[in-house]
Amino acid sequence: MSDTTAGGQCVGCGEPYMAGDGFCQNCGRPIPPGHGGSYEPGADGWEHTPPGRSLWLSVTLPIGGLVLLAAGVVAALLLVRGHAPPVASSVSTPAPSPAPSTDEGVEGSSAPSSPQDTGPDGSTGPVPRPLNSVAVAYASATSPDNVDGTGHRTTYEAANLLDADPTTAWRTDGDGTGVVLTFTLGGPHLVTELGLVNGYAKTDPATGEDRYGQERRILIVSWAVGGNVYRERLVDGVRDLQVIDIPSAKADVVQLRIDAVTQPGDANFDKTPISDVLIAGA
* pLDDT attached to residue 99: 37
Q: What is the DSSP letter of 211?
A: H
User: What's the pLDDT tens digit per position in 45-85?
Assistant: 443 333 333 232 223 334 444 434 444 544 444 333 443 33
CA dist 242 and 231 (Å) reads: 13
pLDDT at 245 over 90: yes
> Which H helix or E strand runs over 190?
strand 180-196
Q: Give the list of residues 6+ apart from residue 42 with CB closer than 8 angstroms, or none.
A: none
In this structure, how many other beta carbons lie within 10 angstroms of the beta carbon of residue 124? 7
Q: Is 77 left (phi over 0), alpha (psi -120 to 50) or beta?
A: alpha
Confidence band of 22 (pLDDT split at 50, 70, 90)? low
Query: For 128-181, what is each residue's pLDDT tens digit?
Result: 999 999 999 999 999 999 888 778 888 999 999 999 999 999 999 999 999 999
| Domain-embedded: residue 72 | no
For residue 25, give every residue at least 6 positions away whose Cβ sits within 8 Å of its Cβ, in sequence order, or none: 15, 17, 51, 105, 106, 107, 231
pLDDT given for residue 16 in this prediction: 72
**Does a structural domain hold residue 184?**
yes
In this structure, is residue 77 part of a structural domain? no
Q: Which domain holds residue 167?
A: 107-281
Number of structural domains found in the chain: 1
Classify strands 228-233 and 107-109 as parallel, antiparallel or unpaired.
Answer: parallel
Structural domain contains residue 224: yes
Above 70 in pLDDT, residue 114?
no
Within a domain: 119: yes
Q: What is the reported pTM?
A: 0.60
Check residue 127 and give its pLDDT: 84
In sequence order, the β-bridge partners of residue 233 are 109, 220
Q: What is the CATH number of the domain that holds 194?
A: 2.60.120.260
Q: Do the domain assignments include residue 263? A: yes
